Amino acid sequence: MWFSAFFAILPLAPLASSARVPQDLFQSSFDVSTHLGNLSPYAKAPAAPGLQETLPEDCTVDQVMLMQRHGSRYPLVSELVFITNLVSKLAGSSAAIKKAELPSSMEFLKDGYTSTLGHDDLTAPGRLQLFDHGVSFALKYPHLKASTLLAGLQDRVVESAQWFANGYFGRAWGGLNATTLQTIPEDNVTISWITPMNTCENWQYDYGNNATITWGNVYLPPIAKRLNKLLPGVKLSTDDVHGALYACAYDLAAHGVSPWCGVFTESEIEDFDYELDLLMDGAFGYNLPGSMGPILGSLFVDKLIERFTNKTGDSQSLYLEFGHDTTIDMALTALGLAKDSPKLSATGPARLNRKWRTSHQVPFAAQMTWEKFSCTASFKGPQIRLLLNESPLALSLCKHMDKELGSCSLDDFVSANSFSTRISWGDATWNATCGNAGF
């Protein structure tokens, strides 16, 4: 009965995966849903020019390590407050809105805009994203078998692992139990490659948040001025505009469609996209102070190398692990990938050619998939490559990277990551940057 009810909702899938918006302001093929930073619904990453996605026929994938971000969620409480305040402002200005001559993209405001968004938990599209990923993973690697999953101990992460498991194992899966789905605490006393910042006493989320406040002071006022000309008497603040942008992203995350997305121009959406990139880069990437970003990400890279080299003698062929966008961003930072020079600036401009793009790196339900493979003729010795949201990401850190696959030998990869493998949690390097939170 449970699965019959589940499959009854599958026809709704295209709504979540191809959420388009009204084209009143967009005369091109611009798709807002692919320009919402780390709040974008899942989509396959753009293929890098010249990189081959399929391995040569003589190659076999021997080992895989997946780091899976949770699916689409409701807004965090800190984000939801912008939306609820906007709803209140609009409700109190209904008379002025009804008198206004509005473009078709804003006519919905005359009927009133309300929000039923919750906070923090997975949405229906988020559950479906993870189920679909589980099915796809089982089909892609049928020769590799997983017996356990590991999830960071946060509700939306655990639930994501459960939906993935339903797709991967099928209805024979035993559900939440100690042997099949294991969890690792997300706190300041548990050393974890999923949430390493929690045990870094000196780490502050404000490094990213301060950057977004600065950028908001640049790009939000002109939007507020434009909308207030269309809505005389409403007096939208920059915080209200922020709420409307969040409403666009989170309506998509919850319902697959949002009337707000069609209100903004392409450049305005791109500025919001840049704000979200700044947040992630400043809190979990290259704009953290000193070498904090690479040091935090080193825990993941070291774990990856430990497993692919079978350092402990008990490596598995397939690891299925569940965490956050932050997990993936910190790993990329430790690897020196998606790195901009000069660094992203909180005062702009929002460079369109930037490498750090969270809409490509860490949309909701993002997948960082590491493959170790061997070949009978194409390569000598074990090789490694990275698929980020189903597309290969060139391992440019390697000295002898293969230009067709973006891969390199495992030995080359280990040598290129000596910085990460030399760091241990609590050693002199770690403590000089982080200290020991909670210990």
Residuewise pLDDT in 10s, the chain (439 residues): 333 333 333 433 333 333 334 434 444 689 999 999 999 999 999 999 999 999 999 999 999 999 999 999 999 999 999 999 999 999 999 999 999 999 999 999 999 999 999 999 999 999 999 999 999 999 999 999 998 999 999 999 999 999 999 999 998 776 655 568 999 999 999 999 999 999 999 999 999 999 999 999 999 999 999 999 999 999 999 999 999 999 999 999 999 999 999 999 999 999 999 999 999 999 999 999 999 999 999 999 999 999 999 999 999 999 999 999 999 999 999 999 999 999 999 998 998 899 999 999 999 999 999 999 999 999 999 999 999 999 999 999 999 999 999 999 999 999 999 999 999 999 999 999 998 755 5
Q: Phi/psi at 348 (nearest 5 deg)?
A: 85, -175
Whether 392 contacts 360, CB under 8 Å: no
Q: How many CB atoms lie within 10 A of CB 238?
A: 16
Q: Phi/psi at 139 (nearest 5 deg)?
A: -75, -35
Residue whose token pair is 């490659």: 193
Based on the residue annotation, tell me whether 119 is a catalytic residue of this protein. Answer: no
Residue whose token pair is 């189920």: 131
Based on the residue annotation, tell me whether 70 is a catalytic residue of this protein. Answer: yes
Whether 250 contacts 37, CB under 8 Å: no
What CATH number has the domain spanning 15-433?
A: 3.40.50.1240
Q: Which of 325, 340, 402, 412 is catalytic?
A: 325
Q: Which of 70, 133, 242, 360 is catalytic?
A: 70
**What pLDDT, on the 0 to 100 scale, is given for residue 28?**
60
Q: Cα separation of 30 and 24, whole Å? A: 12
Q: Phi/psi at 73 (nearest 5 deg)?
A: -125, 170
Instruction: Tell me which amino acid residue 27 is.
Output: Q
Radius of gyration of the chain (CA): 22
Partners of 387 in beta bridges: 369, 392
Whether 173 contacts 180, CB under 8 Å: yes
Beta strands 391-393 and 367-375, pairing class: unpaired
Q: Quick one: tokens of 22?
A: 């009204």
Instruction: Tell me which amino acid residue 209 is.
Output: N
Whether 184 contacts 150, CB under 8 Å: yes
**What pLDDT, on the 0 to 100 scale, is given for residue 11?**
38
Kindly list the distances between the CA atom of residue 95 and the CA atoms of 70, 100, 112, in Å, as whole numbers in the listed order. 41, 9, 10
**What pLDDT, on the 0 to 100 scale, is given for residue 179?**
63
Q: Phi/psi at 64 (nearest 5 deg)?
A: -135, 140
Whether 367 contacts 387, CB under 8 Å: yes
- Give the residue among 19, 35, 39 at the shortest CA–CA distance from 246: 39
Instruction: Tell me which amino acid residue 376 is.
Output: T
Q: How many CB atoms lie within 10 A of CB 263?
A: 28
pTM of the model: 0.92
